[in-house]
């Protein structure tokens, strides 16, 4: 377990509480335990991540072809209505399968937790969310 940097304790506790209350994370009994990483952003807020390098190294890589921009634009041609979504905490909108959740576990001084929703930092998340 990594020690929380000085000056981040209140933000860490508040962020964990927010994620617990919204169902993004849940208490865990996993054998996996990655470490959170907290970084102060330029605007003074905190970027909260988990160091998943060991988990990513143990996962098999899946290869997907991303759609070409031209193909995406072609699907818009001829339509009358368009919409744009700005998904706040976009990864948290996608559930993680129950059997995969223990792999997302992370440990803090408040206990061991795992993600019930997609977690930033996992190698396959960007590809999955882009499809």
Residue 32 has phi, psi (to 5 degrees) of -85, 150
Confidence class for position 22, pLDDT limits 50, 70, 90: very high
CA neighbours closer than 13 Å in the CB half-sphere of residue 24? 16
The rounded Cα 57 to chain-centroid distance in angstroms is: 17
pLDDT at site 83: 84
Confidence class for position 103, pLDDT limits 50, 70, 90: very high
pLDDT at site 31: 94
- Domains of the chain by start residue, with CATH: 6-129 (3.10.10.10)
Yes or no: say if 47 and 38 are a contact pair by the CB < 8 Å rule: yes
Residue closest to 117 by CA, chosen among 24, 2, 50: 24
Q: Read off the tokens for 12.
A: 């860490």
Distances 114 to 5, 35, 68, 79, 105 between C-alpha atoms, Å: 21, 12, 34, 42, 4
The rounded Cα 1 to chain-centroid distance in angstroms is: 19
């Amino acid at each position: 377990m990594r020690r929380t940097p000085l000056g981040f304790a209140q933000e860490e506790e508040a962020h964990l509480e927010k994620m617990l209350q919204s169902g993004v994370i849940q208490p865990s009994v996993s054998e996996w335990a990655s470490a959170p990483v907290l970084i102060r952003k330029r605007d003074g807020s905190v970027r909260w991540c988990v160091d998943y390098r060991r988990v990513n190294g143990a996962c098999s890589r899946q290869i997907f072809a991303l759609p070409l921009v031209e193909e995406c634009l072609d699907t818009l041609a001829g339509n009358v209505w368009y919409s744009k979504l700005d998904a706040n905490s976009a990864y948290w909108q996608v559930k993680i399968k129950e059997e995969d959740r223990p792999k997302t576990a992370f440990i803090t001084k408040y206990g061991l937790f795992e993600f019930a929703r997609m977690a930033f930092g996992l190698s396959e998340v960007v590809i999955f969310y882009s499809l």
